[in-house]
């Protein structure tokens, strides 16, 4: 019996994922309304639950893809993978107020620049504080603090050590997870309640998954504005990481 149910889940992976995520959202909405009197968004709870499940599954399977490493939940990997995620992000642009987006355009560019430089400098300084002295390792770890894609792309281009690459990716993943969980908590404090600040937020945080999760948990109306700038972040990071940043670091540490 159990085996047959498992078989259906494996065979109908994407359909099963719809059902599982729907159930998760239902539980989260009920929890949000009952336990927190609606103060915490149901989607925020769902994202945290998703992360918690990914942690448990990761411990159990030893894999890198959370629950998607379990064969019965392989469909979650497809549903939450880059293809459908990007498809849904593009769809949110249908609701964008063009006037608002244009008005905040320059702010978004400024945010992108700061959001690339600040994490890199912090990551590079941390690496130096922990005893890394070669320019390649420092640059790779710094790039990881930008996003978990910029890190390995930069590291691969520079021929970084694999242990450094692991650190670099872990830094980016940690940042993404922290953005997802932390954004709803600090949203009021940092004035994240309008399209302008959402565009600044997207450019500064960069990590598309972090921004996507953080804004969904905070306020759905901000999603398209944050995503619009965030999607440029990784590309820019990959552009300056192995070139401008590496050359600067090399000039500084010799």
Partner 1 sequence: MTIFGVALLALCTLIGVFLGDLLGIALGVKANVGGVGLAMILLIAARSWLVAKGKLGHGVKLGVEFWSTMYIPIVVAMAAQQNVVAAVSGGPIVLIAATVSLLLCFACVAFLGRFGRRDEPSEQVRHGGAVIAGDLDDAPAPRNPAPRAAQAAPIPATKA
Residues 177-216 that bind partner 1 (CB under 8 A): 177-180, 182, 186, 189-192, 194-197, 200-201, 204-205, 208-209, 212-213, 216
Helix-, strand-, coil-residue percentages of the chain, each rounded to 5: 85, 0, 15
Is residue 235 a contact residue for partner 1 (CB under 8 A)?
yes
Q: Which is nearest to 73 in space by CA: 23, 148, 28, 26?
A: 23
Is residue 222 a contact residue for partner 1 (CB under 8 A)?
yes
Handedness of CA 216, 220, 226, 228 (dihedral sign): positive
Helices (H), strands (E): how many in the chain?
14, 0
Are the beta carbons of 155 and 140 closer than 8 angstroms? yes
Question: At closest approach, how far in Å is the CB of 49 from partner 1?
Answer: 8
What gap in Å lies between CA 198 and CA 44, rounded to an integer? 17
Q: Using CB under 8 A, which residues numbered 41 to 60 contact partner 1?
A: 43, 46-55, 57-59
Is residue 236 a contact residue for partner 1 (CB under 8 A)?
yes
For partner 1, the binding residue among 176, 245, 246, 249 (CB under 8 A) is 176
Question: At closest approach, how far in Å is the CB of 241 from partner 1?
Answer: 9
Q: Which is nearest to 123 in space by CA: 150, 105, 157?
A: 150
Question: At closest approach, how far in Å is the CB of 33 from partner 1?
Answer: 14
Question: At closest approach, how far in Å is the CB of 251 from partner 1?
Answer: 20
What gap in Å lies between CA 21 and CA 32, rounded to an integer? 16
Is residue 219 a contact residue for partner 1 (CB under 8 A)?
yes
Provide CB contacts within 8 A for 127, sequence distance 6+.
Answer: 137, 138, 141, 142
**CB nearer to partner 1: pick between 1 and 146:** 146
**CB nearer to partner 1: pick between 1 and 87:** 87
Q: Using CB under 8 A, which residues numbered 92 to 151 contact partner 1?
A: 92-101, 103-104, 107, 110-111, 114-115, 118-119, 122-123, 126-127, 129-130, 141, 144-145, 149
* Interacting span for partner 1 (CB under 8 A) from 5-13, 30-38, 83-91, 244-252: 83-91
Q: Using CB under 8 A, which residues numbered 13 to 42 contact partner 1?
A: 17-18, 21-22, 24-25
Question: At closest approach, how far in Å is the CB of 71 from partner 1?
Answer: 14
Alpha helices in 36-161 (DSSP H): 42-61, 74-79, 82-92, 98-103, 105-129, 135-146, 150-158
What gap in Å lies between CA 67 and CA 49, rounded to an integer? 12
* Token representation of residue 150: 């910029």
For partner 1, the binding residue among 135, 138, 165, 228 (CB under 8 A) is 228
For partner 1, the binding residue among 84, 244, 247, 252 (CB under 8 A) is 84
Q: 153 phi and psi, to 5 degrees?
A: -65, -45
Other Cβ atoms within 10 Å of 21 Cβ, number: 16
Is residue 169 a contact residue for partner 1 (CB under 8 A)?
yes
């Amino acid at each position: 019996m159990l085996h047959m149910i498992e078989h259906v889940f494996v065979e109908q992976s994407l359909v099963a994922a719809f059902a599982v995520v729907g159930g998760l959202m239902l539980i989260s909405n009920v929890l949000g309304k009952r336990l927190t009197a609606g103060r915490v968004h149901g989607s925020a709870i769902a994202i945290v639950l998703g992360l918690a499940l990914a942690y448990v599954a990761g411990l159990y399977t030893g894999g890198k893809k959370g629950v998607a490493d379990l064969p019965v939940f392989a469909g979650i990997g497809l549903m939450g993978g880059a293809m459908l995620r990007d498809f849904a992000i593009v769809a949110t642009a249908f609701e964008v107020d063009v006037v608002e987006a244009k008005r905040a355009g320059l702010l978004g560019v400024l945010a992108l620049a700061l959001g690339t430089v600040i994490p890199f400098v912090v990551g590079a300084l941390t690496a130096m504080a922990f005893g890394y002295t070669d320019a390649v390792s420092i640059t790779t770890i710094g790039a990881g603090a930008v996003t978990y894609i910029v890190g390995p792309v930069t590291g691969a281009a520079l021929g970084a050590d694999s242990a450094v690459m692991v650190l670099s990716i872990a830094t980016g993943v940690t940042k993404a997870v922290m953005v997802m969980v932390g954004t709803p908590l600090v949203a009021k404090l940092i004035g994240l309640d309008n399209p302008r600040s959402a565009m600044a937020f997207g450019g500064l945080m960069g990590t598309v998954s972090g921004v996507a999760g953080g804004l969904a948990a905070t306020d759905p109306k901000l999603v398209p504005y944050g995503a619009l700038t965030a999607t440029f972040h990784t590309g820019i990071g990959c552009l300056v990481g192995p070139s401008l940043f590496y050359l600067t670091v090399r000039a500084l540490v010799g």
